[in-house]
Amino acid sequence: MFGAGMNAETTPHCTALGFDDKRIQEVLSMLRLGEEHRAIADRIRTQVIAGRADELVDRCFTAFARTRGFSLIERSFGAKSFKRAWINRLRRFGLDFDTKEYFEERLATAAAFARAKIHLSLLHLPYFLTQEILIEALSEKFNDRATTLWPFLNAVLKLTSLDLYLTAEGYRLPELDELEGDLDKLRQETFRLRRRTSIDELTGLMNYAKLMESLEQQINRARRRGHESNPLCLIMSDLDFFKKINDTYGHMVGDLVLRHVAGRIKSATRDFDLIGRFGGEEFVIVMMNTDLALGEAIAERIREGVMKAPFHVKQYNIPVTLSLGVAMLRQGENKESLLERADAAMYEAKRSGRNRVVVASDS
Ligand SMILES: Nc1nc2c(ncn2[C@@H]2O[C@H](COP(=O)(O)OP(=O)(O)OP(=O)(O)O)[C@@H](O)[C@H]2O)c(=O)[nH]1
């Protein structure tokens, strides 16, 4: 609202528009407003405005209230309170113009008007009218004695310029809000897209692309740090006779089974192991700082975790087992070769009866 009171402790509009102490000083020096204007503004308040603020505003308020667009001010802020605020602001003319609070009040007022979609020129008008009132009142008081009058007129012009400048700045705030809102939406969209491109929607595990990217990164890391001290193991696991589950209970139940299996694999592994859905009913686990013996133990734990109890899906109890192949990264080996060896070990587990772990030879 025009001239409404404000909370001196917070200056959010100043902050949003970058009006820190340095920028405030820049603005004041641009307008050549200095210490001497404090004293002049003081004299204007005490010698010209004091006791006459109502009358001075009254002189032009009726005409102002007839301007096109005033009804918008009336609707948004109320004509009476707008007038009262104008009078209060006149009483405080130029008071503490070099403080953050002064800037904040004008910026906040302008932002409120801009948000109410009231045109900037309509808010500029009371400042121009205030300027006119004061020039008239000063001319009357000093009887047009130019040399005495000039410093006062000069202060009135500069302080009005400051108010107009701050008003125009404050009008930018809704635009910034909008930009910030758009940025927020963009961030959310990016986040959503990133999730969609890296997460398997059914199980919440990494999808194939993300899994491959992470595997590549971990292999490079293991290479940099040395295979000996940083062994890397990979498990390829595949549900046994999953086609039968789909055929018996339907594809939707099959999907839920896959989701439950993913959950049990997660519980059987460590927080820092990487788990991904490799394809239909195949899961891959990448384990850093894990040698073949430990890799095998974790694969065993996964197998037992899945087998230990049937999955309750809808009204069915569905037993599921996994076949798993484990391979450890060899010196100079790439991800394709590592995956192939783990896959071959997994097929070996299938061939030799399923529901078991086979370890690929590391030599
Ligand atoms: N419900 C569901 N089924 C899938 C999905 N992806 C693959 N499948 C099914 O998984 C089954 C895999 O069957 P097969 O490759 O013959 O293997 P299996 O029946 O598990 O037998 P073994 O692997 O030899 O033990 C097929 O019926 C696929 O349609 C999926 O996302 N959801």
Q: What does each of the 363 residues of the chain score in pLDDT, given as a tens digit?
A: 354 444 445 788 999 899 999 999 999 999 999 999 999 999 999 999 999 999 999 988 988 998 888 998 998 889 999 999 999 999 999 999 999 999 999 999 999 999 888 888 888 999 999 999 999 999 988 876 778 888 999 999 999 999 999 999 999 888 777 777 777 888 888 778 777 789 998 999 999 999 999 999 999 999 998 877 899 999 999 999 999 999 999 999 999 999 999 999 999 999 999 999 998 999 999 999 999 999 999 999 999 999 999 999 999 999 999 999 999 999 999 999 999 999 999 999 999 999 999 999 977
For ligand 1, the distance from its centroid to the CA atom of residue 118, given in whole angstroms, is 64
Q: How many CB atoms lie within 10 A of CB 63?
A: 10
Residue 199 has what DSSP assignment? B
Q: Which atom of ligand 1 is nearest to the CA of 202?
A: 31
Phi–psi pair at 315, nearest 5 degrees: -95, 5
Helices (H) and strands (E) in the chain, counts: 15, 7
Of 300, 306, 272, 307, nearest to 286 (Cα)?
272
- Best residue among 244, 253, 261, 281 to mutate for probing ligand 1's pocket (most ligand atoms within 8 Å of CB) is 281
For ligand 1, atom 31: residue with the closest CA: 280
Q: What is d(CA 214, CA 210) in angstroms, rounded to the nearest whole number?
A: 6
Could you tell me the pTM of the whole model?
0.56
Q: Does ligand 1 lie within 6 Å of residue 346's CB atom?
A: no
Q: Does ligand 1 lie within 6 Å of residue 249's CB atom?
A: no
Is 175 assigned a catalytic role?
A: no
For ligand 1, atom 14: residue with the closest CA: 243
Q: Which atom of ligand 1 is nearest to the CA of 238?
A: 23
Instruction: Count Cα neighbours of 175 within 13 Å in the Cβ-side half-sphere.
Output: 7
Q: Which atom of ligand 1 is nearest to the CA of 246?
A: 1
- CA dist 197 → 203, 204, 246 (Å): 14, 12, 27
- Tell me the DSSP string of 97-142: TTSHHHHHHHHHHHHHHHHTT--HHHHHHHHHHHHHHHHHHHHHHH
Contacts of 72 (CB under 8 A, 6+ apart): 116, 117, 118, 122
Contacts of 80 (CB under 8 A, 6+ apart): none
* Cβ atoms of 322 and 356 closer than 8 Å: no
Residue with tokens 């062994």: 231
**Kind and range of the H or E run holding 34:** none
Q: Does ligand 1 lie within 6 Å of residue 200's CB atom?
A: no
Using CA atoms in the order 185, 188, 189, 190, what is the torsion angle rounded to 10 degrees?
120
Could you tell me if the ipTM is greater than 0.85?
yes
For ligand 1, the distance from its centroid to the CA atom of residue 339, given in whole angstroms, is 19
Pairing verdict, β 316-318 and 357-359: unpaired
Phi–psi pair at 280, nearest 5 degrees: -30, -80
Out of 169, 281, 333, 348, pick the active-site residue: 281
Phi–psi pair at 353, nearest 5 degrees: 125, -5
Q: Which atom of ligand 1 is nearest to the CA of 279?
A: 6
For ligand 1, the distance from its centroid to the CA atom of residue 243, given in whole angstroms, is 5
Tell me the domains of the chain and their CATH numbers: 12-179 (1.10.490.10), 201-359 (3.30.70.270)
Residue 50 has what DSSP assignment? T
